[in-house]
Structure 1
Amino acid sequence: MIRETKPSLKTSLGKKNIHQAPVVDKVIVSVGIGSLATRKGVKDFSDIEKNIIKITGQKPQLIKSKKSISNFKLREDMPVMFKVTLRRDMALGFLEKLTKIVLPR
């Protein structure tokens, strides 16, 4: 797929060298937990984690807050979001599925 795309992209952009064509290095998928983190008694985010695993094929990383912000009712080390970084073939496969299957619906 990439071997056919890069030369055609090079000619369509009018570049002389194939290395001047843009390349996708990585795709970052992040899901904010939002108000779930501030609710009392909610500690289990396994449903969100399972959905991200189904979508991306990788286990997400739980990101916690670095400092407290009282206006957002956010305390230090509270869960804030899940993040997955897809690189190389996983990133290209994800983008291909996204553009050909999900977005045309």
Structure 2
Amino acid sequence: MHFIDAKGILTGSGGYYGMNIYRGCTHGCIYCDSRSRCYQFTHPFEDIEVKQNAPELLEKVLKSKRKKCMIGTGAMSDPYMHCEENLSLTGRCLEIYSGKWFWGCNSDKI
């Protein structure tokens, strides 16, 4: 696992955004599309990249949104991997957008 300070946290437009706090995964699912070369990982997929500043970025971005939107997680990796138990980045982000009346859609392995 390695940590980065990300420049952005939401991708998408038109009322639906994706939020990937983690890049990579340790589950090893053989059907996982996120392993595809088209996503241009610069590190081994099992070496999880953690956007350590995700809650701060999300807070800043949501302040500038004029309309409410849907925010989905779990498209590129499980948002509740084992490291989430200690880091709680997904949990903190959920608190931020639910407290501002944004909608969320979470996908995970559970």
TM-score over 0.5 for the pair: no
**TM-score between both structures, scaled by the size of structure 2:** 0.25
Q: Which has the larger radius of gyration?
A: 1
**TM-score between both structures, scaled by the size of structure 1:** 0.26
Higher RCO (CA 8 Å, separation ≥ 6 residues): 2
Compare the two structures and name the one with the higher helix fraction: 1
